[in-house]
């Protein structure tokens, strides 16, 4: 892993740096890559999300935060194509989209990396990167293992992760390296939007730094990242913007610049007036 670039290198110096918890208005990106409008999700009598809307621009890192039960998981499932919203619409590049299943969302450019990484621990790196979308070669349509291994190495190189043997089972990798493999699967699909669900949960300090560096590299490659996290220091470290949910509603949507982890925690805990 390379050393983390400074805030200026990441372009944060030019960001608005207003302090305080109220009074900041956010202009939506000029050309939203992803637009949510009036998203609602009900499970019988329980309403998990109501009237949530926000825009995300290309290359943004947006943190999705909130306490347990705030509606983050429901929103992630909707974006990942794992469930359909009961209200509202999703637009990609201005065109309304409905995701039939996770594979459909993936094909349309949204990849989700779940908290447990959704990797097959005993399978090799290349097998995990190409899980469900293996490459074959003519004339017999047999697996092109060499090409998949080479491509996996290339994806990892893009993330500045150095692993010598692509046959290494994922269970032998560190937490940070496993995240990298999961991200490589998103890169293999050329996903424009990568949703990372609690990527640093259960990771040590060093591995967390590696994962944050991976997110910076994704942003440098113009990928949009939606970071779902309870780790406020991570949000402050890498996110451009934070969207806070409370009780299924969006209560904040503002730049992260100028905020501290403590500020964010206070915003999440703050009771609605």
Partner 1 sequence: MTRRILARYGTALAGVGLFAIFAVTSPVFLTPDNIALILKETAFLGILAIGFTLALVTAEIDLSVAEVASLAAVVTGALVHGGTDPWIAIAAGLAVGTLCGAANGVAVTVLNVPSLIATLGVAAIAKGLSFMLTQGVAFVGRWPASFTGLARGTLLGVPNLIWWLAGIGFAAWLLVKWTRLGAHLVATGEADEAARLAGIRTRSMKRLALTLAGACAGLTAVLLASSLSSAAPAMANDHFLYAIAAVLLGMSMFEPGRPNIPGTLFAAFTLKVLGNGLVLLGAEYYWQDIILGTIILLSVALSATGTGKAPFVKKLNVRR
> Applying CB under 8 A, does 171 fall inside the site for partner 1?
yes
Which lies closer to partner 1 via its Cβ, residue 2 or residue 122?
Answer: 122
Least distance in Å: CB of 42 to partner 1?
24
3-state helix, strand, coil in the chain (%, to 5): 30, 25, 40
Least distance CB 150 / partner 1 (angstroms): 17
Residue 144 burial (10 A CB sphere; 0-12, 13-18, 19+): middle
Interacting residue with partner 1 among 169, 247, 255, 258 (CB under 8 A):
169
Rounded to an integer, what distance in angstroms lies between the CA atom of residue 96 and that of residue 89? 7
Shortest distance (Å) from residue 107 CB to partner 1: 9
Question: Applying CB under 8 A, which of residues 141, 164, 269, 271 lies at the interface with partner 1?
Answer: 141
User: Is 138 a residue that touches partner 1 (CB under 8 A)?
Assistant: no
Is 133 near partner 1 (CB under 8 A)? yes
Out of 44, 132, 138, 139, name the contact with partner 1 by CB under 8 A: 132
Count of other CB atoms within 10 angstroms of residue 51? 13
The strand pair at 61-65 and 224-228 is best described as parallel
Sign of CA dihedral 64, 70, 75, 80: positive
Cα–Cα dist 200/156, whole Å: 18
For the purposes of burial, counting CB atoms within 10 Å of the CB of 87, is it exposed (0-12), middle (13-18) or buried (19 or more)?
Answer: middle
Kindly state whether residue 127 participates in binding partner 1, applying the rule CB under 8 A: yes
Task: Decide if residue 103 touches partner 1 (CB under 8 A).
Answer: yes
Residue 118 CB, nearest approach to partner 1 (Å): 4
Q: Does 123 bind partner 1 (CB under 8 A)?
A: yes
Structural tokens at position 231? 């780790």
The yes or no reply on residue 167 touching partner 1 (CB under 8 A) is no
Chain residues binding partner 1 by CB under 8 A are 101-103, 106, 112, 114, 117-123, 127, 131-134, 136, 141-143, 169, 171-172, 185
């Amino acid at each position: 892993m390379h050393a983390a670039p400074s805030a200026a290198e990441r372009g944060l110096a030019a960001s608005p740096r207003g302090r305080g918890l109220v009074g900041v208005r956010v202009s939506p990106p000029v050309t939203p890559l992803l637009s949510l409008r009036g998203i609602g999700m009900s499970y019988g009598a329980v309403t998990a999300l109501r009237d949530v809307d926000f825009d995300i621009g290309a290359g943004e890192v947006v943190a999705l935060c909130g306490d347990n039960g705030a509606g983050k998981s429901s929103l992630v499932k909707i974006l990942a194509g794992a469930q359909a919203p009961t209200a509202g619409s999703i637009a990609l590049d201005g065109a309304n989209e409905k995701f039939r299943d996770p594979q459909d969302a993936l094909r349309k450019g949204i990849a989700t990396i779940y908290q447990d990484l959704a990797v097959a621990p005993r399978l090799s790196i290349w097998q995990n990167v190409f899980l469900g979308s293996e490459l074959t070669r003519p004339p017999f349509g047999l697996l092109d293992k060499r090409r998949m291994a080479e491509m996996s190495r290339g994806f990892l190189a893009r993330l500045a992760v150095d692993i010598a043997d692509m046959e290494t089972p994922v269970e032998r990798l560190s937490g940070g390296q496993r995240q990298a493999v999961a991200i490589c699967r998103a890169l293999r699909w050329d996903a424009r939007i990568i949703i990372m669900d609690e990527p640093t949960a259960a990771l040590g300090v060093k591995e967390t730094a590696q994962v944050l560096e991976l997110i910076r590299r994704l942003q440098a490659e113009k990928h949009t990242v939606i970071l779902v996290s309870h780790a406020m220091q991570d949000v402050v470290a890498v996110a451009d913007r934070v969207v806070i949910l409370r009780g299924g509603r969006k209560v904040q949507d503002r730049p992260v610049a100028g905020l501290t982890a403590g500020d964010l925690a206070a915003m999440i805990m703050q009771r609605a007036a």
